[in-house]
Amino acid sequence: MATRMIAGIEVQVNDEGFMTDLGEWNKDIATELAKEEGIEALTENHWKVIDFCRQSATESGSAPTLRQITTGTGISTKELFSLYPKGPAKKVARISGLGKPEGCV
């Protein structure tokens, strides 16, 4: 397993750059990963999605699907694409310190 420095912390990542240990994640890491994904600032709605995804992954063992995110947060698919352009489920999973969502290429 590879490691990487993110926000001054060495974390374990897989070959695609997704963190592999939920416990290593923190909000500073999320902020840095968001910037890498082209999101300069995380708004209240960004955090609402991130918090939902982390809670869901803790309960189910995997990152939630786009449909689960929209249902669980009340944020529409259109707004999710606005918050996390070009692949919101994959981007939010990466920023949230979760594994790659099933079904994502």
- Give catalytic residues, as residue numbers: 104
Q: 3-class SS at 32?
A: helix
In DSSP terms, which residues pair with 11 in a beta bridge?
Answer: 4
CA distances from 27 to 1, 3, 9, 42, 79 (A): 23, 18, 12, 10, 22
CA–CA gap between residue 2 and residue 84 (Å, rounded):
26
